[in-house]
Structure 1
Amino acid sequence: MPEVKLACGQVVSVEEGASWADVAAAVGIEAVAVLVEGELRDIRDPVEEGRKAKLLKLTDPESLDVLRHTAAHVLAQAVRRLFPGVKLAIGPAIS
């Protein structure tokens, strides 16, 4: 079983092929994303054994970028439905 170490020091064993969401569920955290050794990752990404990770909750400042990115995609989809043929710009979410 792969093991991962969380930023709080807890070591979690998970099934082969598990995602970071599975890790969050195993420790009872409602996470929206994960920082894997400082790199922001999708909570649905597969676990990488031996890596140190911080599960990000909605209340964590780092999760704000994730929420902005998701909101930008939702807004873009709404604009395309309301205005067919519209051309969207590509770029990072901004505050």
Structure 2
Amino acid sequence: MSNREHLPSRRESVSFNFIHQDRQYHATATRYSDGRLAEIFLDCGKVGSAVQQHAEATAVLPSIALQHGVDASTLAHAVKGGPLATAIELAMPPHDLERPQ
């Protein structure tokens, strides 16, 4: 795996809400200056609940992978079907949504 690409102190971010399996989620994604996805944060609004802790923890590994050069579409494909895949897909620019074969 490649070395970690450090995040700039100031970076573009986008926040959005979505529903997955009847549960409301909120995601925030940040980008590198060239537009690539750099990290993603995910929560479901039930502070202290197991599902909230799971949502937060689930987003940590993809954020680390993104900072080590793993492509966002590869991550979305790897976790397809879950709320994290939905959040990654919604955060990616439209031209990055092509699925790896």
TM-score normalised according to structure 2 size = 0.29
Instruction: Judging by fraction of residues, say which structure has more helix.
Output: 2
TM-score normalised according to structure 1 size = 0.30
Rg (Cα) greater in structure:
1
